[in-house]
Amino acid sequence: MRKIIVSMWTTLDGFVAGPRDEMDWLQIDEQVLRYERELVEGSGGLLLGRITHADFAGHWPRAAQDREEAEEVRRYARRVDTMEKIVISASGSIAAWQNTRRHERVDPDEIIELKRGHGGDIVVYGSLGVIGSLVELGLVDEFHLLVHPVFLRDGKALFEGGRPPQRLELISAEPFTSGVVLMKYRPVDRAAS
């Protein structure tokens, strides 16, 4: 069965963006790029919210063709451009991008059917609302957190408060030369599966 993997860049204090979606705190190095490329090359699809999908659709197809981009970035962009994309959008208004299909909401039966499908794992980027729904339904198999050595002190948190704690089991931790640490976790209640 395919896994749903949430891959998220985060700060030490748990923010994924600044208060106005700033991402200027990112520390991208060759190891971060290699992780991202290997993740999508081994995956079968992306599961995205409407806004993240639109952001990606506006950037990655162009980056795949841009000869001024580094080859590592172009390889990643070409893979993302051709992958299956599932977009969660209640409004139905989604950006045009090849291999995209829409689901109206995070429906547990549809997600389980998606996980039973053929191909590699399904990666979730950004899309905080989608991630929150998947977590509430117990449908996330792994969290890949790229923790950056910075405190933002304010911004958008990966998870909203007011929910019960979710225990995780560490799968692996890998420090990068930039100071970023890739930590992979799985929910404790899924550790045996």
- How many angstroms separate the CA atoms of 19 and 108, rounded? 31
**What are the pLDDT digits (tens) for 85-125?**
999 999 888 999 999 999 999 999 999 999 999 889 999 99
Alpha carbons within 13 A on the beta-carbon side of 92: 0
The pTM assigned to this predicted structure is 0.92
- How many angstroms separate the CA atoms of 18 and 134, rounded? 23
pLDDT at residue 193 is higher than 50? no
Query: Coil, helix or strand for 9?
Result: strand
pLDDT at residue 191 is higher than 50? no
Where is 34: in which H helix or E strand?
Answer: helix 30-41
pLDDT at residue 61 is higher than 80? yes
Distances (CA, A) of 65 to 15, 23, 35, 78: 32, 24, 21, 8
What class, spelled out in words, does domain 4-187 have in CATH? alpha beta
Q: What is the mean pLDDT of residues 31-49?
A: 94
pLDDT at residue 76 is higher than 70? yes
Q: Where are the domains of the chain?
A: 4-187
pLDDT at residue 79 is higher than 70? yes
Helix and strand totals (H; E) in the chain: 5, 10
What is the chain's mean pLDDT, rounded?
92
**What are the pLDDT digits (tens) for 129-166?**
999 999 999 999 999 999 999 999 999 998 877 778 88
Both structure tokens of 134: 């998947």
